[in-house]
A = this chain, B = another copy of it.
Amino acid sequence: MSTMTTASNITAPTQFLEVGGTTYAYRRFGQGPGRPLLCLQHFTGTLDNWDPAVTDALALGREVILFDNAGVGRSSGNVPNTVSGMAQHALAFLDALNLSGCDVLGYSLGGMVALQMAQDRPAIFRRLILVGTAPRGGEDIMHLEKPSLARYLGDPRLQGYEVLQKIFFAPTESSQAAGAAFIGRLVQRKEDRDKPSGPEVAAAQVAAFRDWERYTGERFAELKGIRIPTLVVNGVHDEMIPVGNSLWLVENLPNAVLLVYPDSGHGSLFQHHESFTRHATAFLASDSPYAPY
């Protein structure tokens, strides 16, 4: 079963689980009265992109399970080019862990995967936290070619995490400072790191975003059946997946609260990590069948 030699994403050992021919890399740490929290990651992100300020605070009250989907980090296999394909991998991983019940934190692409999992297997999660994400049929999802993003992604002076600081945070001095602090926390982990995602990971995930923007039939109809208590979180100046998508989520999910943070972009949960983990903890701790916490 799980090893919890440490309760920080700075030091937690990476573990591996083989299911049906695919080996999944994951980390599992923390303890407490809460249900385990599965964390599903953003575009090209690996286990090393989870901010310890977020994961470690949440791990004070429950097990936190960070997961590399197929083809990402040190997980084997190919990156699916649909969200549905990613959801199948995540379900297979969860089944193999044999948990009796869990909650989920789905961030960006991970939020879409979480929604798909909840649709495919309605009883899989007790509570859902969706940050900086979009419903199927959402708009302006990860269009990296648009000028507000391309100017950083195409800037040869920006290397590695410097790009993340620009595109995950708002252009204000305060948000950029929070971005620098975030990067500083990510590089605290020195050993047993994932390999960064290459262009083939990005290409498949972008294909999944393009597919996710398409819908057939009544727009957002599938959300109306997801009655799990849900907390939706977004930065108000998110250029990667704009906040209007979060509004669509709560307009159509019947049991979802929306929390929007100021002065922040796609990485609002990292910028406002003290507030976010306080809200997430209160939300996860609630036993009410209703989302308001």
Binding site for B on A (CB under 8 A): 236-237, 243-244, 247, 250-251, 253-263, 272, 274-275, 278, 290-293
Contact = CB atoms under 8 A, between A and B. Distances in A.
Given A247-B243, A275-B292, A275-B293, A257 B260 contact: yes
Contacts of A290: 262-263
Number of copies of this protein chain within its complex: 2
Given A247-B243, A292-B272, A293-B275, A259 B262 contact: no
Given A247-B243, A275-B293, A254 B260 contact: no
A261 B257 contact: yes
Contacts of A251: 236-237, 243
Contacts of A293: 275, 278
A290 B65 CA distance: 31
Nearest to A229: B262
Contact of A292 (B244, B250, B255, B262): B262
A-B complex: 9 closest residue pairs judged by Cβ atoms = A275-B292, A258-B260, A272-B292, A236-B250, A256-B262, A250-B260, A255-B262, A262-B291, A236-B251
Nearest to A251: B236
A257 B263 CA distance: 10
A278 B283 CA distance: 12
Contacts of A256: 262
A262 B256 CA distance: 6
A247 B272 CA distance: 19
Contacts of A262: 250, 253-257, 290-292
Nearest to A256: B262
A21 B279 CA distance: 47
23 contacts: A236-B250, A236-B258, A237-B251, A243-B251, A247-B247, A247-B260, A250-B260, A253-B262, A254-B262, A254-B263, A255-B262, A255-B263, A257-B262, A258-B258, A258-B259, A258-B260, A262-B290, A262-B291, A262-B292, A272-B292, A274-B292, A275-B293, A278-B293
Contacts of A258: 236, 258-260
A250 B278 CA distance: 21
Contacts of A275: 292-293
A293 B258 CA distance: 15
A182 to B, nearest CB: 15
A38 B263 CA distance: 27
A278 B282 CA distance: 11
A283 to B, nearest CB: 10
